[in-house]
Amino acid sequence: MADVRPLPGIRYAPGTDLAAVVTPPYDVISPEAQARYYQRSPENIIRLELGRDEPGDDELDNRYTRAATTFADWRLNGVLQSDVPALYLYEQRFTAPGVDGGERTRLSLLARVRIEPWEAGVVLPHERTLSKPKSDRLKLARATAATLSPIMALYDDPRGELAKAFTKSLKRAPDAEFTDESGETHRLWIMRDAALIERVARFFRDRQLYIADGHHRYETALAYREELRETRRELPLEDAANFTLMALAAIEDPGLVVLPTHRIVRGVAQERLAEFQRDLAGYFEVTPLGAEGALDAREMTHALAAASEGGQRVAFALLMADGARLLRLTDAGRAAMDERIGGSEGFGDAGTSAAWRALDVAVLHELVLAQGLSVSEQAIRAGEHVTYTRDAQAALDAVSSGADGAQLAFLLNPTPPAAIRDVARAGDRMPQKSTYFYPKLITGLLINPLW
């Protein structure tokens, strides 16, 4: 199914201090971080990935046109150089926040992947996207004609077939290595062996890919290709615009870390809160976790993980001003999920799969937010009532102090990577903020030209 190819990658010249020129992807860069990257080096990738708006910007002079000019200058002057076509192995060594087990290693294959519409069933999404980020990325693609940061996608490899194919490459010294500002180590190997490239291509011909991180960038690649088809009238199948840059990781990789995103709730009527607490017993086993003032976020997350019984049971923790409770879904709760799917007041569409209904975050949104608290999907998408944090202690502190009107919070377990695959295969989309893959892929290590 998936068409995976080598690419003539564009990289910083040998000898470049890579730690000084790379950044995280655009969507996690704060204004403060953007300013820091500008100051770090005149050749930092921030000038392409997320340039600054300036007073007086217009159609002829703006951050997109400046990115294009800078990109061309860097290639002309040797700051960036092109490789002969190759596949790339990308290793990240890191310690995940809130995850036990010390240092972890995640391995990805950086390659060109032929873009297909969602309905083709080759590359599958697991979440919905917003229009504004897609517009921004499309303007940048038009200006630079390049993929500046990779999309993260998952694939099935239960027997470790592809990992075995890379064993020889990983035994030699990497072609690039550096440690970034977060203390994470990045290593890159270039693979040009024709037999290995063909072996990789054969492996992916029988597989689907599941977008883990980068839905907006994938839809941008589709839109960019369609624009070229219209303007050129004909786009050869081998044209670079038919492909995008992906970092492909095995679902079975033990270094694949998904962090939970917790919910903080505000602005719910007090009478609704009282009714909601009584209603919980109809769908959940409710177990006290501790009284206010005696709560420890780390202990709570451990108790929450144990309550899921190895991921076999839906569970989350409810934080309120008077203490915390552990909620575990009962048979009655599962039946209620089945009954609610497709209702106008819920989050799930008619015919939503069993894989979707089994998600912790789906149960939370359906039975607790929508039914229990009368918080609609539209309100959440509009930024009302619910905010998000990956810091369990921050959620606990917000409720304890009532900061910004916080009334209660829900701590969640991380969504298993296999659940992302199963939901995507079923054609469903998860509620927003269901997954956060850690760490993010670095931007600036490899650029994919679209010419």
pLDDT of the residue at 362 = 93
The conformation of residue 120, written as its DSSP 8-state character, comes to G
Residue 398 pLDDT grade (very low, low, confident, very high; cuts 50, 70, 90): very high
Q: What is the pLDDT of residues 84-137, one digit of tens each?
A: 999 999 999 999 987 776 899 999 999 999 999 999 999 999 987 665 667 899
Region 418-427: what's the mean pLDDT? 94
Shared domain check, 403 and 295: yes
pLDDT of the residue at 83 = 98
- Which residues fall within 8 angstroms of residue 103, CB to CB, at 6 or more apart? 93, 94, 95
Shared domain check, 188 and 64: yes
Range of the domain at 316: 260-434
Q: What is the pLDDT of residues 340-351, one digit of tens each?
A: 764 444 455 556
Shared domain check, 264 and 228: no
Alpha carbon 113 to its chain's center? 18
Shared domain check, 181 and 73: yes
pLDDT of the residue at 378 = 84
- Which residues fall within 8 angstroms of residue 379, CB to CB, at 6 or more apart? 385, 386
Shared domain check, 196 and 285: no
Instruction: Give the other-Cβ count within 10 Å of 202's Cβ.
Output: 10
Shared domain check, 173 and 237: yes
Q: What is the pLDDT of residues 201-245, one digit of tens each?
A: 999 999 999 999 999 899 999 999 999 999 988 899 999 999 999
pTM attached to this predicted model = 0.92
Shared domain check, 55 and 27: yes
> What are the backbone angles phi and psi of residue 297, rounded to the nearest 5°?
-60, -40
Shared domain check, 281 and 173: no
Distance CA 203, CA 279 (A): 50
pLDDT of the residue at 130 = 62
pLDDT of the residue at 341 = 61
Shared domain check, 388 and 356: yes
Region 255-276: what's the mean pLDDT? 92
Q: What is the pLDDT of residues 269-295, one digit of tens each?
A: 988 888 888 888 899 999 998 765 667
Shared domain check, 236 and 150: yes
- Cβ atoms of 318 and 410 within 8 Å: the answer is yes
Kindly provide the b/e burial profile for residues 334-370, where b requires at least 16 CB atoms within 10 angstroms of the residue's own CB: bebbeebbeeeebbbeeebbebbbbbbbbbbbbbbbb
Region 362-388: what's the mean pLDDT? 90
- Amino acid at the residue 221: A
Question: DSSP letter string over 246-311?
Answer: EEEEETT-TT-EE---EEEEE---HHHHHHHHHHHTTTEEEEEEEETTS--HHHHHHHHHHHTTTT
How many domains in the chain? 2
Q: What is the pLDDT of residues 132-153, one digit of tens each?
A: 667 899 999 999 999 999 999 9
Shared domain check, 269 and 252: no
Shared domain check, 74 and 168: yes
Distance CA 209, CA 221 (A): 16
